[in-house]
């Protein structure tokens, strides 16, 4: 039986693996290969990398560090999680595992424009023409021509945030006419943000821009930000009996323990800033809490 099973191998899961392995605990890390961080072409706001680092390179370095101290990685997707007596049972396509504690670091997935083909999506993302995180990379679109695909409160909030980087900003509805109340419309007017109705379609990379059709003709932009929300990967938490918010985020206490004793969560699956640095900080807190939780059950001695 493992001391802790970590589900998810993004920045949160890998940070926790480093900490827990260095606490001389028997840990197992499940990695299904879909960390959102792996899709980052190059991040420039992660401390310690002034020239930037790709998400994949960062994850590879973090795993090498965790592996150096004894972390075991299972490259498979976890399909089942349950509290069974005094331990947890974790099931995957490769078998069933047990652990005294579990840390969920399953993250979220971004919602994409439905009409955007996968090949164009991936190429545009790699080239910086498609972006999902203005907190991460708004600096890179300073004074560029930018579109936000979204509407309502969420689309308005993202457009207003990006207004701090560029004046050439357009909010495009993904499906049809905008769904904006008076307050949103007033804020957008005051910020000088243009609005165009959808639907969006006919996506292509044209030169150094990402272009698509709208109700008012074909437009192209240096960068496009989908502001369509995200899906929280909290199904395993729910299956184990943990409480979640209306949005699906896992409810945790100050030390990142869920409402199920011994089950912890960190990173984007918990309400937070959806930032690598924040996920890593949460993971450090959670890992130390897990170590202390295990020590209360049975003294940890060499």
pLDDT in tens, 126-175: 999 999 999 999 999 999 999 999 999 999 999 999 999 999 999 999 99
Residues 6+ apart with CB under 8 A from 225: 131, 132, 134, 146, 147, 148, 149, 158, 162
Task: Using pLDDT thresholds of 50, 70 and 90, give the confidence band for residue 298.
Answer: confident
102 and 122 assigned to the same domain: no
> Quick check: 274 pLDDT over 90?
no
Give per-residue pLDDT as tens, 6-60: 999 999 999 999 999 999 999 999 999 999 999 999 999 999 999 999 999 999 9
List Cα–Cα distances, 7 to 69, 189, 276, in angstroms: 18, 45, 17
Residue 38 lies in a domain: yes
The domain tally of the chain equals 2
60 and 141 assigned to the same domain: no
Query: How far apart, in whole angstroms, are the C-alpha atoms of residue 196 and residue 218?
Result: 11
> Quick check: 272 pLDDT over 80?
no
CATH code of the domain containing 188: 3.50.50.60
Q: Per-residue pLDDT averaged across 225-236, rounded?
A: 96
- Token pair for 177: 């006419």
Q: Which phi and psi angles does 108 have, rounded to 5°?
A: -135, 165
Which of 162, 185, 161, 163 minimizes the C-alpha distance to 173?
185
Query: How far apart, in whole angstroms, are the C-alpha atoms of residue 240 and residue 262?
Result: 11
pLDDT at 94: 85
Residues 6+ apart with CB under 8 A from 160: 187, 188, 191, 193
> Quick check: 190 pLDDT over 80?
yes
As beta bridge partners, residue 151 has none
Query: How far apart, in whole angstroms, are the C-alpha atoms of residue 286 and residue 53?
Result: 26
Query: How far apart, in whole angstroms, are the C-alpha atoms of residue 110 and residue 43?
Result: 17
Q: Which of 226, 248, 275 is the last residue of a domain?
A: 226
Residue 210 lies in a domain: yes
Q: Per-residue pLDDT averaged across 222-242, rounded?
A: 96
Q: Which phi and psi angles does 2 have, rounded to 5°?
A: -80, 155
Query: How far apart, in whole angstroms, are the C-alpha atoms of residue 127 and residue 110?
Result: 18
Residue 302 lies in a domain: no
Q: Which phi and psi angles does 131 have, rounded to 5°?
A: -140, 150
Q: Which pTM was predicted?
A: 0.94
DSSP 105-150: ---EEEPPPTTS-HHHHHHHHHTTSB-S-HHHHGGGGTTS-EEEE-
How many C-beta atoms surround the C-beta of residue 182 within 10 A?
Answer: 7
Q: What is the mean pLDDT of the chain?
A: 96
Q: Which of 226, 245, 278 is the last residue of a domain?
A: 226
Query: How far apart, in whole angstroms, are the C-alpha atoms of residue 183 and residue 278?
Result: 31
Query: Per mean pLDDT, which range of 154-163, 252-261, 291-300 is the poorest?
Result: 291-300
Q: Percent of the chain having pLDDT more than 90? A: 95
Look up the domain containing 125 and give its range.
112-226
DSSP 25-59: --EEEE--S--GGGG-S-BS-STT-TT-B-HHHHH
pLDDT at 299: 81
Taken as a whole, the chain contains a residue count of 302
pLDDT at 59: 97
161 and 32 assigned to the same domain: no
Q: Per-residue pLDDT averaged across 269-295, rounded?
A: 94
């Amino acid at each position: 039986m493992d001391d802790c099973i970590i589900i998810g191998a993004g920045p949160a899961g890998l940070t926790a693996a480093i900490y827990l392995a260095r606490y001389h605990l028997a840990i197992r890390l499940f990695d299904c290969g879909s960390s959102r961080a792996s899709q980052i072409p190059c991040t420039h706001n992660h401390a310690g990398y002034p020239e930037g680092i790709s998400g994949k390179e960062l994850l590879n370095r973090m795993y090498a560090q965790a592996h150096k101290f004894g972390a075991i990685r299972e490259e498979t997707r976890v399909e089942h999680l349950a509290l069974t007596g005094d331990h947890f049972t974790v099931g995957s396509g490769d078998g069933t595992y047990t652990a005294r504690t579990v840390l969920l670091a399953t993250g979220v997935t971004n919602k994409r424009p439905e009409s955007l083909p996968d090949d164009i999506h991936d190429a545009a993302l790699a080239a910086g023409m498609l972006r999902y995180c203005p907190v991460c990379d708004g600096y890179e679109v300073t004074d560029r021509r930018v579109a936000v695909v979204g509407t309502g409160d969420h689309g308005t909030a993202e457009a207003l945030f990006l207004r701090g980087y560029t004046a050439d900003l357009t909010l495009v509805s993904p499906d049809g006419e905008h769904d904006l109340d008076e307050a949103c419309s007033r804020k957008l007017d005051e910020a000088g943000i243009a609005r165009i109705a959808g639907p969006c379609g006919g996506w292509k990379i044209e030169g150094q821009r990402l272009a698509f059709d709208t109700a008012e003709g074909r437009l192209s932009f240096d960068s496009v930000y989908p502001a369509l929300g995200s899906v929280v990967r909290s199904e395993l938490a729910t299956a184990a009996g943990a409480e979640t918010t209306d949005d699906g985020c896992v409810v945790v206490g100050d030390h990142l323990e869920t409402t199920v004793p011994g089950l912890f969560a960190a990173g984007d699956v918990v309400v937070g800033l959806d930032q690598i640095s924040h996920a890593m900080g949460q993971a450090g807190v959670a890992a130390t809490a897990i170590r202390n939780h295990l020590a209360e059950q049975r003294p940890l001695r060499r």
